[in-house]
Amino acid sequence: MDNNGTVALTKKVILTSSKPVTKEDFIKKIGEITRNIIEFLNKNGCRKIAHIKFISTTNGEDYLHYSVQDINREPKIQGILQKTFEKIKITLNIIEFGVGRDDINSKVDREIRNIQDYFSSLK
């Protein structure tokens, strides 16, 4: 965290599933993760969220951009993603003010494990 309490965190992950995942199910799970992260930040002293962004692609030609810039507004969802897929690359970027790097890093790691477990368990 720098002097003003800013933490910028980026995580990259590849999710795979043995069963095709629908775009709608993926967006739903990303929304759950985002809500969990926001709830955690609010409970742990976050003063402001600059953004929480997921940028996802299945093959480099399609993408989905899921962005929260204000916790009191609905996320912005842009892009075109395949209707179903078995593998997706995600870059998660968070910039927030007030919660320590180790704390938010730990929470994000738990959320990533949760989504990985969910998609790997689909049969």
Question: Residues 42-98: pLDDT tens digits?
Answer: 999 998 999 999 999 998 789 999 999 988 888 999 999 999 999 999 999 999 999
Residue 123 has pLDDT above 80, yes or no: no
Query: What is the pairing mode between strands 6-22 and 64-68?
Result: unpaired
Residue spans of the domains in the chain: they are 6-120
Alpha carbon distance 111, 32 (integer Å) = 9
Confidence (pLDDT) at 71: 82
Residue 2 has pLDDT above 80, yes or no: no
- Burial track 42-56 (b if 16+ CB lie within 10 A, e otherwise): eeeebeebeebbbbb
118 φ/ψ angles, rounded to the nearest 5 degrees: -60, -50
Alpha carbon distance 81, 91 (integer Å) = 15
pLDDT tens column, 26-40? 999 999 999 999 999
